[in-house]
Amino acid sequence: MINEKMEKAFLEQINAEMFSEYLYLSMKAYFANLNLAGFVNWMDVQVQEERAHAMGMFDYVLERGGRVILEQIEKPENNWNSPLEVFEAVLKHEEYITSRINALMDVAEETKDRAALAFLNWYLKEQVEEEANVGGILAQLKMIGDDKNGLFALDKELAARTFVAPVIG
C-alpha cells in the first residue's frame, strides 16, 4: 500500500508530466505554423513520451493501491520568437522536471518507500537523457544562428526521430 504522502507527491508529478505533454503540444503547434515538419515531429515524440511518463506514474499509483485524482492542467505558453527560444524553454522545463523527480525521490526516501525509489530511478535516468538531448539541439541552434540552410538541415535531422514506447520501472 502506498503511503499517503507518497501518493500525494505522485499525483502532483502526474499533473506536472501532463502539463509537459500540453506544453510540448503547444510547441508542436508553434513549429507547425512555421512549416518546420522536423521540429513538429520532434515535439510530437516529446508529447508521446510525456504522456507515457505520466501514465507510468498513474499506473504505478494504482498498482500500489492508491487512488488517482486528476487536477486541472495549467495553460502552457504559446508564443515564442524563434526555434532557439523554444528550445531554451524546453531545457528550462526539463531541468524543472528533473528537480521535481529529485523531490519525489526525497519523499520516497523520507517515507522509506524502497519500491518507489526503485521505480523512480528510471525517471531520473530518463531526465539525464532528456536534458542531454535538448542541450545538443540547443547547441546546434546557437551555432546555426540566422542561417536558414542550417535550420532546414536541422529540421530534416529532427524529422527522423521516432517514438519508442518506454518500458518504465
Angstrom distances, CA of residue 168 to CA of 9, 24, 26, 35:
18, 20, 25, 33
pLDDT in tens, 21-51: 999 999 999 999 999 999 999 999 999 999 9
Considering only CA atoms, which of 8, 128, 11 is closest in space to residue 58? Answer: 11
Quote the longest CA-to-CA distance of the chain.
56
Convert the pLDDT of each residue in 88-109 to its tens digit. Answer: 999 999 999 999 999 999 999 9
Q: What is the pTM of this model?
A: 0.96
- CA 119/CA 100 separation, integer angstroms: 15
**Per-domain boundaries in the chain:** 4-158
What would the CATH number be for the domain defined by 4-158?
1.20.1260.10
| CA-closest candidate to residue 113, choices 61, 162, 164 | 61
CB atoms within 10 A of CB 168: 15
Q: Identity (one letter) of the amino acid at 79? A: N
- Residue 86 to residue 69: CA distance in whole angstroms: 31
